[in-house]
Amino acid sequence: MSDIDKIISSKLPKGRSLWQDGLRRLWKRKLAMICFAVILIYFLLAGFIYAAELFHWHVGPIQWQEEVGRQYESPGWKHVFGTDIFGQSVLRKMLYGAKISITVALCASIISIVIGVPLGAIAGYFRGVTDEIIVWVYSTLSSIPYILLILAFAVVLRDKALFGYKLTGITTVYLAIGLTSWVGICRLIRGEVIKHKNREYVMAAQSYGCSNSRIIFRHLLPNVFHLVIIDFSLRFVSFIHAEVILSFLGLGEATRPSWGAMINDARIELSRGVWWQMAAATAAIFFISLALNIFGDALRDSLDPKLRIQ
């Protein structure tokens, strides 16, 4: 490179990648950053409780079964959300429920992505009979009401064994949700791959003799992966709601507290004027749902080139 070329290149502004530009736009959204902080608190709480159980730490949230007061003590300075019928802290149960919901939503999201993304990419790239079979499968699943489909899977998987491991409680829930929720991401990736497969960089890879698997996983998927992240953030809250519904119906975790089980217990308590267990579980669900929805919308506006705004 000549001296003139070096001078010109040094004066040219450096470009930003899709991810750098998207993160810059996201950082400017103060409300989205506040919501991200709320989400991070929930995740850190769930991770802390998981680590406390794993290493047998004696901390409050994992000792939810201890009696800390009298039966049905109302909220106060001593017990922020009062106590339940057994004198157990409702606050501790609410905090522990975060671990159950976050774990279920995270595992279900990973399962749905592992199934839906490769199937969508394969269907969009190869088309023909392969595409028709995959489209037929997810069209059949999507024609069944979502909640009924999850309930059917949860009932079928309950108390069954997989690779010698008995499926109970939380494992049944996230398998039921994950195995039934890959349809949306599969359809999305299929449509994007169809649009990208005839672009120059794909044809250049084909001209160099790259295999189909290399083109799909090294060229196509990295260019549409921002949609996977956006879909993950938007669907995460629906997986939390699905876990709450299953726990409310008695198909979720039976031996440990969850937000759905707390709401189920609070149904009878409301007739006695005991409202704080319902309020605690509802507040926990409300704040994580609101934060995820706002942050997911901001993430979509920042990363999706078609929806970017200055």
Predicted confidence at residue 308, as pLDDT, reads: 54
Name the average pLDDT for the chain. Answer: 85
Rounded CA separation 94/188 (Å): 35
Percent of the chain with pLDDT over 70: 91
Rounded CA separation 274/279 (Å): 10
Percent of the chain with pLDDT over 90: 33
Predicted confidence at residue 186, as pLDDT, reads: 93
Average pLDDT over residues 195-214: 88
pLDDT tens across 48-84, in order?
998 988 887 887 778 888 888 888 888 988 888 989 8
Predicted confidence at residue 14, as pLDDT, reads: 57
pLDDT tens across 234-272, in order?
889 999 998 888 888 888 777 788 898 899 888 888 888
Predicted confidence at residue 7, as pLDDT, reads: 46
- List the chain domain ranges: 17-307
Give me the torsion for CA of 140, 146, 147, 151, rounded to 10°.
40
**Inter-CA distances, 122 with 185, 194, 217, 231, Å:** 13, 10, 10, 19
pLDDT tens across 123-171, in order?
999 989 999 999 999 999 888 888 888 888 888 887 777 766 777 778 8
Half-sphere exposure of 309 (CA within 13 A, CB side): 7
Burial 256-290, CB ≥16 within 10 A → b, else e: bbbbbbbbbbbeebeeeebebbbebbbebbeebbe
Average pLDDT over residues 271-299: 91
Least confident of 4-8, 249-253, 276-280, 285-289: 4-8
* CA dihedral over 51, 53, 55, 60, signed as positive or negative: positive
Cβ contact 253:100 at 8 Å: yes
Question: Domain 17-307 belongs to what topology?
Answer: MetI-like fold (1.10.3720)
